Amino acid sequence: MRPITEKDNLLATLEGAFTARGFEQNPLQRKAMDFVLEKGLPTLKSEEYRFAPITRTLENIFRSESTSDSPSISPSSLLSIPDMPSHLVVFVNGIFSPAHSRMLDDTVSLTLTHLQNVKADQDTFELLNHAFAENAVHIQVAENVSVKHPIAIVYYFDSPNFVFANPQWVCSLGAHSNASLLEYTVARTPGAFFNNKHSRVEVGENADLEFAMIQNGSEEEILLNNSHIEIAFSSRVTCHTITLKGKIIRNNLSLALNGERIDARLNGLYLVSGSNLVDNHTVVDHRKPNSYSNELYKGVIDGQGKAVFNGKIFVRPDAQKTNAYQTNRNILLSETGTIHTKPQLEIWADDVKCSHGCTTGQLDEEALFYLQSRGISKDLAKGMLLNAFAGETLNGMKNEKLRSLIDALVTEKLHPADQP
Amino acid sequence: MLTIRNLHAKIEDNQILNGINLTVKAGEVHAIMGPNGSGKSTLAAALAGREEFIVTEGTVDFLGKNLLELSPEERAREGVFLAFQYPVEIPGVSTINFMKTALNQIRVHRGETPLDAVAFLKLMKEKMKLVEIEQTLLNRSLNEGFSGGEKKRNEIFQMAMLEPRLAILDETDSGLDIDALRIVANGVNVLRSKNNATIVVTHYQRLLEYIVPDYVHVLYNGRIVKSGTKELALELEEKGYDWIKAEVAAV
């Protein structure tokens, strides 16, 4: 038996909401909820969540009565990025909204689907998502298709009350096709919300995927982002996880390299301030030989901000001739900021090239003085150095417009008062 | 232009400058020589405003302003330029953007309008010729992967762009082959005018064959122990620094 603890209140509330919405009628949702009840929500004693007090935070702010009520109408101009025509897949307060979603052409199609199964060993929040998500949006790109415009998955929040959102989507990218996925949050509410998101992308053979997650929604946001990418033979996948805002942001990003000759890149950038937390857990799973992965995560931590980087790399016995690299670099701007960084490499094959490295330091005083000695103010010089540090993670971004948009957001966050 | 009186400075607990007195007038070139560890680079850094060097005594007047009260960027805007002995590599900051930002901050300080991209590039092309620097180099990140000679030429290029009133060249000759030395010295000479002044900090007399000083000062144990004209540099080249040390010891 699981010991009875204070978190049982939250579990009881969740179970009540689950029953009230009639979700127990669906066997798969019932099974997912049972797993959640059995396992309990993770506490700081749970290895995977030892730095992320999500459960504790939820206990204080969780309100079940108002979730998913009255999705309101919002102008679509709010939802899309200016000057960037995009296919839109929109969730309003966590619920998929066909009325707000639109495909620009027939290279992409949307249907509703259901999960096929749930397993006890899944992440507990992911199971919670499966318990509360009635269906999943299926984004489909056929074989041999080049999708011209980005496919934007938008989480729109405008409820005055606390929202417990469980969006769920899957994307299948056909063989020899290419597409760019973009995920972001638009918050038109000063209140808190918990976005407990699950997504799964299946990348067919010899396909190209760029997937950018722009986490810039709201200072009150709690995000639990479970993202899985399954990659087939000879495909190229680039992920960008850019975290600029949020009270607690937890990313569980996993890439399964199921074929040979895959090229997988994971870029992450997190700018943490206030007393916010950004926790990136990544898994790169090399299951077949001759593939390449490269992971670069960088963070700037200010105030009492806290960041966690936990990078797992698996190289399975079959995966000979794997090249897998991982780098995590951090700059602490304050004495009260914290970074916990932990590479975890599990290598069962004997003919592989793997490396990992992490550094944590302060802003380079020599470089700062050099810029100042040419007449550049200290604040601007700091901003330039931080921008340069952060910029490396954005270099792999193929969408130039997106890159310059993110550059501007990063600049604004790093030196709001002193832009050139 | 520059009047240094009784300047004392330390880094952490090491007292390095022990009472420097020096007056530099517009149009003059002063060479500061001395053995390793005598405080040459400390003097250069203290004038540019490096924070680690704490001034414990003395005053520095620059064009009527108390230089020691100004931040490094304010000193640069007033017209002080330090050519670094070891220019810093800054990945991710393009040389051109850096130069444009710096120049425009200085221009705004002087009450001039900032240059737009076209005017800036025109000026840049003009100044590039002075130090025989290629644009491909300037398109790269600041000093990143530059050779020693390229870094020093980039310093003089920056000096040409910013047109300082007082240039301090800190061991600009170190690590340069004779061709690079000639190019760098030529750049400095072209920029000399009756309105600006140059302080050349060097260990060897070699650079002074190209940048001919009006005055030569020998720094030892954080003090100027001997001053003279360019002949003093030749004497030092011939005899080394030991006789200076002996003279100081005798006093």
For A365-381, what is each residue's pLDDT tens digit? 999 999 999 999 999 99
Dihedral angle of Cα B41, B45, B46, B50, to the nearest 10 degrees: -140
Burial group, residue A156, by CB count within 10 angstroms (0-12, 13-18, 19+) = buried
CB within 8 Å: B90 and A370:
yes
CB within 8 Å: A367 and B105:
no
Q: Out of B71, B88, B98, name the one closest to residue A366 (CB).
A: B88
The residues near A46 (Cβ < 8 Å, ≥ 6 apart) are none
Q: What is the pLDDT of residues A59-76, one digit of tens each?
A: 888 876 554 455 566 667
Residue A37 pLDDT: 95
Residues in B touching A367 (Cβ below 8 Å): 88, 90
CB pairs under 8 A between A and B: 75
Residue A88 pLDDT: 96
Residues in A touching B104 (Cβ below 8 Å): 420
Residues in A touching B162 (Cβ below 8 Å): 374-375
pTM: 0.88
A261 within 8 A of A322, measured Cβ to Cβ? no
Q: What are the start-end ranges of the H helices in chain B? A: 40-48, 72-78, 95-109, 117-130, 135-138, 148-162, 178-191, 230-239, 242-250
Mean pLDDT, rounded, for A205-212 = 98
Residues in A touching B50 (Cβ below 8 Å): 369
The residues near A294 (Cβ < 8 Å, ≥ 6 apart) are A264, A265, A266, A324, A325, A326
Residue A278 pLDDT: 98
CA distance A327 to chain B (A): 17
- DSSP states of B103-149: HHHHHHHTTPPPP-HHHHHHHHHHHHHHTT--HHHHTSEETTT--HH
Q: How far apart are CA A29 and CA A21, in angstroms?
A: 11
Residue B130 pLDDT: 86
Residue A419 pLDDT: 44
Residues in A touching B72 (Cβ below 8 Å): 369, 372-373
Higher pLDDT, A4 or A28: A28
Residue B10 has pLDDT above 70, yes or no: yes
Residue A71 pLDDT: 53
Q: pLDDT tier at A189 (50, 70, 90 boundaries)?
A: confident
CB within 8 Å: A374 and B158:
yes
Q: What is the pLDDT of residues B48-99, one digit of tens each?
A: 999 999 999 999 999 999 999 999 999 999 999 999 999 999 999 999 999 9
Q: What is the pLDDT of residues A301-346, one digit of tens each?
A: 999 999 999 999 999 999 999 999 999 999 999 999 999 999 999 9
Q: pLDDT tier at A391 (50, 70, 90 boundaries)?
A: very high
- The secondary structure element, H or E, covering residue A328 is strand A323-332
CA distance A373 to chain B (A): 5
Residue A57 has pLDDT above 50, yes or no: yes
CA distance A404 to chain B (A): 15
Give which of A6, A92, A98 is closest to A45, Cα–Cα: A6
Mean pLDDT computed over every residue of chain A:
92
